[in-house]
Structure 1
Amino acid sequence: MAIDIKTPEEIEAMRVACRLASEVLDYITPFVQPGVTTAELDRLCHRYIEEVQQAVAAPLNYPPGSPNPFPNAICTSVNHVVCHGIPNEKPLKEGDIVNLDITVQKDGWYGDTSRMFVVGNKPSILARRLVQVTYECLWLGIAAVRPGARLGDIGAAIERHAHHHGYSVVREYCGHGIGRRFHEEPQVLHYGKPGTGIELVPGMTFTIEPMINAGKAPTSVLADGWTVVTKDRSLSAQWEHTVLVTETGVEVLTTSVGCPKPPEIVRDRFGDGFIG
């Protein structure tokens, strides 16, 4: 399938959907506390998307027609869950780490983003460090985006930083093109070699969403057919943004008032902003 290059009008529609996705994370942040269940976080996000944003929670019943569609409005991945965690009634505990993955569909366009949350005020040094390094991996991948660069440059930047800190990169799951469809071409691997892969051109929109493990890289899928966990049950972290290749570099589309700023490691390029 060919890569869909977005027009200026289409990019503007995507900015709206992407901003809404980020605003869901702004809204839910105060609720991520010890004792709350991921099922309650799901209910709150679903209500906000439908009633406040007048939009659609894209993960719910995705993919259409599947014998085992995703059963909830958001993905909630706790501790050793890598991605696609199904919300449940188990309360979050002090020191847990959880990824909330939000995809909003608005007027036919999709915006996809996720953030890590440390539950409570006493995270382990390992958990805090993993979350921070994974955030840096995301932004080093974003910093590699510019016209003429290659998809392999993104993956190489992420892999290099993760390995430098002794972490592993999940290889079975990757970023993806996005627009009028939840998942489009190209696939965006979080590992690779510089100068390889598809050339980036203005108008491309895709997600970068590295999944970084504190232990080994292999994963497995639970019996529910969705929840992906680390095989060695080590902690895993993930951050995600939807980005646009511009004429001069990259624009992060999934931004909002409460969106975390770029980390120090890329501050010389991005400052406190999101356009390079």
Structure 2
Amino acid sequence: MIELKTKEDIEKLRVANKIVAEILQKVKEATKPGMTGIDLDRIAREETEKRGVKPAFLGLYGFPAALCVSINEEIVHGIPKDKPIKEGDVVSIDFGVVYEGWYGDAAITYVVGNKISERKKRLLEGVEKALMAGIEKCIPGNNIKDIAAAIEGTLKEYRLAPICDYGGHGIGRKPHEEPHVSNCIANAEDVVLKEGMVLAIEPMATLGKRANYYRKLKDGWTIVSKEKAIAAHFEHSVAITENGPEILSKLD
């Protein structure tokens, strides 16, 4: 069942997601060559503690860290490792918190250092544009299929390979609620959008040639490209209001 949120509920979700956005920015700014995923996870935990909230992912379904850190060909759900991050690496970080029983969730991808190739620039720009295209469709009366079509269409415009089996979700008192928000039209649910729905929209794609071409590592979590193609992942939590979409997980 899809739970519609009140304005008071959305205010709690706004606070939770603003905290997520702040911490993601702190982790991004702190990332330097030579650091490890474990270092980034430590920073996220410290920043969470400072704000008096709980990390949402730590222990969730058995996940062993507070921060998902996916590097280069790792697409999503990367367990932080002790391998040093290098100049030019593409790092995706996905993070959530729990604030007074309400969940915040967002993700960003960035290149470490100042050197970024045109292909990596196209990847990051394309996936972030796909996110915004999906968000623009978060209007009462539209359909989940409209979000999926906007995301998939934008990824294809940028010549990127979408990951269709993973996607977004409702969010609120639970980290994952109905409905599922697919990044591809073929497996998108037929759900009409209503005022009060709050969705985490999260496109992910690679620079590979094949859509949905991935495997899970032996750690049971990290999803990687079978082509070893570099991947990117962006996510915002979005409230559907009478005035259109409101991005809850953005910095002021």
RMSD: 1.2
Contact 2:181/2:189 (CA < 8 Å) preserved in 1?
no
Unaligned residue ranges in structure 2 (runs of 5+): none
Contact 1:3/1:184 (CA < 8 Å) preserved in 2? yes
Q: Distance in 2 between matches of 1:226 and 1:176?
A: 18
Q: TM-score, normalised by structure 2?
A: 0.96
Contact 1:32 1:117 in 2 (8 A): no
SS in structure 1 of the partner of residue 154 of structure 2: helix
Question: Residues 45-64 of structure 1 correspond to what in structure 2 (within 5 A)?
Answer: 45-50=44-49, 52-63=50-61
- 2:82 corresponds to which letter in structure 1? E
Say whether 1:176 aligns with 2:169: yes
Q: 1:30 & 1:224 partners in 2: Cα distance?
A: 28
Residue in 2 that maps onto 1:131? 124
Report how far residue 168 of structure 1 moved: 1.3
1:219 equivalent in alignment to 2:214: yes
Equivalent residue letter for 1:188: V
Partner in structure 2 of residue 245 of structure 1: 240
| Residue number in structure 2 paired with 1:254 | 249
Which aligned segments of 4 or more residues in structure 1 are displaced greater than 4 angstroms? none
Aligned partner of residue 200 in structure 1, secondary structure = coil
Task: Report the secondary structure of 1:207's partner residue.
Answer: strand
Identity of aligned residues (%): 40
Answer yes or no: is the 8 Å Cα contact 2:34–2:84 preserved in 1.
yes
Amino acid at match of 1:179: G
Q: CA deviation at 1:226?
A: 0.2
CA contact (8 A) 2:161 2:206 kept: yes
Matches within 5 A, 1:1-276: 2-50=1-49, 52-63=50-61, 69-192=62-185, 197-215=190-208, 216-217=210-211, 218-257=213-252
Report the AA paired with residue 224 of structure 2: V
Contact 2:59 2:65 in 1 (8 A): yes
The answer to whether the 8 A contact 2:172-2:198 is kept is yes
**Deviations 1:220-264 (CA, angstroms, capped at 9, x unpaired):** 10001000001111111110000000012110000114xxxxxxx
In structure 2, C-alpha distance between the alignment counterparts of 1:163 and 1:100, rounded to whole Å = 23
The CA deviation at 1:165 is 2.1
Unpaired runs of 5+ residues, structure 1, are 64-68, 258-276
Which string of whole-angstrom CA distances, capped at 9 and with x for unpartnered residues, describes residues 126-170 of structure 1?
Answer: 112101111101000111110100000001011111112221110
